[in-house]
Chain A
């Protein structure tokens, strides 16, 4: 499992540029599912055929990052955000471009109020001496992602991009385990979630499943003086009740809870006040698709060092295996 997570989290794939991640996953699942295809937005859709109901499981491939908007005379880069990036959190972080170029994020030091710092007061230093120098390595419009290696320690994993490569890992693991069921399962690795849940929309429209789940991350409430939230690391995958994009369909939610109870799989209930998931956009696709989610409790979401508990990940795989087996009514 660690190896899989390491491979997936360290593959370059900011929103809109998920091809490498898709390629990696397609290689892993080749021959293990009945069909693999992609669509115009770059979603990767892997199908296990069946005569039963269609169940769509979605995990997004894209990660947050930055886009270069301008290169100045001295070779410093200005940038915009891809997905939600709190400015204070990225100071001093490293970013890496697709071609391996590394940069450091710093800020214009004459600003008065650090707390209200905006991205347009920040820059990336790639060590270039001039614009021409910089342009040998990076062009306007190039994307970079944050640097954060994958570490396993005390049953926990720390890495960048666990949001949502951990969801991708869960789905890959589930697909490889080949759950025996008549239901038709769509393992969908979606594009452009971080910029507005876009890929899931077109993927769902192409499938029109009977039911869908987003496998993504959720916040926890178990760190010093954090915002209260009734989810803790290591106490099981979270069954989504509500996030900012969706209130889970009652039947989907109940089916997950029943599956967990029957098989004694630990689980928690998630009410997340900020942040949405692909479930939100699948929910309203075409004439409406009953949707919910299974979330991996994750600390420090959108930081370069996100943290999950490996047992939660394994239990999520077990829970989903149960979920897809049961007949849909």
Chain B
């Protein structure tokens, strides 16, 4: 069980902002090459792997996205400061005073902000606006900055993972390197179903990779492995906490992109109960995952999402509990092992034919 936790630490140390997932993909490929029967990379950059089963089960797609939120250089000011756009959803207040790495070379920079002494009263009381922020790489002027940086370079947070507290890990990009780590481990097992392990790209800018991946796989069943929102800090009403850190992997009943397949969801929670694996249902219905794209692929797919609760998601300091990760892996493994029988049962119950 140490393995999956180590994988998360290694994966979160790599930069892979949406559209620039190459380094993450290379690492993943090095880990899974020997455990899958086939793999290929598609035009968008998805890594699609195939593991032949004994032919008894359904076609199963396992999805974890490789990309993380970040920034992109959009303009170089004459004073050498860099303007940027956000890639995926990042709040402006999260960006102030952060350290970043830019482009393939990882040029270091920091995001500065006007000191409180110099702000007028509206600025002091108002929220930070993205347009006020720039990245400082120390360049003297535009000319010098252009030697190091191009417009379009992606920018990631430069934060290394830290283990702290009781079983906790702080890292950037837990969303969704936790899913990638679990998927890598799952591919090391053997199953009766045909398994398509898909490490997808560009989830954070609108679930892009999952669309082309599912079109190629045409699965019957899909499990999406995610890192999800968690806000179990004081002064939050319990109904708004979404998920609780350390209370087991979270199952999504519904979010803005998908209503999980009822039979599959029941089967997953029953499996958790039977194996005495802790689990929880996500309490809020905001956000969306690749499941939303996969479900409406082709003639439709039975989908469910299993996720590790991650505090402070979409920041460089997101936090997870080690036990949630391990329990998610256990649960997903159990589900995959017994899935064929469950799906056959569903078929026998007349899910497909009325006449």
Contact = CB atoms under 8 A, between A and B. Distances in A.
30 contacts: A16-B259, A16-B260, A22-B354, A26-B354, A26-B355, A36-B353, A37-B354, A37-B355, A38-B354, A40-B300, A40-B301, A41-B295, A67-B285, A69-B239, A69-B285, A70-B239, A70-B283, A72-B238, A78-B239, A81-B285, A120-B240, A140-B253, A140-B283, A192-B259, A196-B257, A198-B295, A198-B296, A202-B298, A206-B299, A206-B300
Contacts of B297: 202
B322 interface: no
A174 interface: no
A206 B281 CA distance: 32
**Chain B, interface size: which category?**
20 to 34
B253 to A, nearest CB: 4
Contacts of B283: 69-70, 140
A202 B300 contact: yes
B302 interface: yes
B299 A39 contact: yes
Contacts of A80: 254, 284-285
Interface in A1-59: 15-17, 22-23, 26, 30, 35-41, 43-44
A36 B259 contact: no
A40 B261 CA distance: 8
Contacts of B220: 40
A195 B259 contact: yes
A15 B259 CA distance: 8
Contacts of A78: 239
A246 interface: no
A54 B265 CA distance: 35
A16 B254 contact: yes
Contacts of B23: none
A198 B261 CA distance: 13
B352 interface: yes
Interface in B113-153: none
B351 interface: yes
A153 B110 CA distance: 70
Interface in B294-323: 295-302
Residue of B254, B297, B351, B352 with most partner-chain A CB within 10 A? B254
Given A16-B262, A78-B239, A202-B298, 7 more contacts: A23-B354, A30-B354, A80-B254, A120-B240, A141-B253, A196-B257, A202-B296
**Chain A, interface size: which category?**
35 or more
A301 interface: no
Contact of B355 (A30, A195, A199): A30
A41 B300 contact: yes
A81 B256 CA distance: 10
A203 B298 CA distance: 9
Residue of B261, B352, B354 with most partner-chain A CB within 10 A? B354
A201 interface: yes
The majority secondary structure among interface residues of chain A is mixed
A72 to B, nearest CB: 7
Interface of A: 15-17, 22-23, 26, 30, 35-41, 43-44, 67, 69-70, 72, 78, 80-82, 120, 140-141, 192, 195-196, 198-199, 201-203, 205-206
Contacts of A37: 352-355
A140 B281 contact: yes
Interface in B195-238: 220, 238
A285 to B, nearest CB: 10
Contacts of B354: 22-23, 26, 30, 36-38, 44
A171 B299 CA distance: 22
Nearest to A201: B296
A60 B295 CA distance: 17
Contacts of A195: 259
Nearest to B350: A38
Contacts of B285: 67, 69, 80-81
Contacts of B284: 69, 80
Contacts of A38: 351-354
B165 to A, nearest CB: 26
B232 to A, nearest CB: 13
A191 B253 CA distance: 16
A34 B305 CA distance: 37
B263 to A, nearest CB: 10
A201 B296 CA distance: 7
Contact of B302 (A17, A26, A40, A67): A40
Nearest to A204: B299
